Amino acid sequence: MRVLAIDPGTLRMGYAVLDAEPAPSADDYGVVALPAAMPIENRLYQLHTHILNMIHVFQPDAIAVEDPFVGRGERAFVKSALAIGQAQAVVLIGAASQGVPVHRYAPATVKRAVTDYGAATKEQVQRMAASTLGLARTPESDAADALAVGLCHLQESRVNDLAAREIAPGEER
């Protein structure tokens, strides 16, 4: 299985391409950075173009994308959550247009899958993603987040595959 993982953002979109076999490995990862001075509609169009190009080049079996974190009360991040939601929508539209299934993950689920702690720091996610994938250097934050989303998806896929193979009580082998 090959997954294109995305950490959405309208200024910086992290991406990673991971293969599941024989062990999880990163084929490519990085950040698509766009200027803040560029109008939002142009940034979204650029992100859409990048997503379509990545789908064409990497031919993923699935796309995994992180959901926006909104927060509550004083820790509400409404404006940034809306921007991330716009970038996520571009990913969803690009995937749908190419017939690639999409899997969405909450930030805490991604952190828990990679670090065993749902409130891990950015630095912990960076170090664990690099360590798990045997990378020579620690990737920058947005790329590390995309790598973590991809690792989360591969882990969830393995669990789902094992659950699907489980024999129900009373069935013969």
Residues labelled catalytic: 7, 66, 142
φ and ψ at 67, to 5 degrees? -75, 155
Quick one: tokens of 92? 């969803």
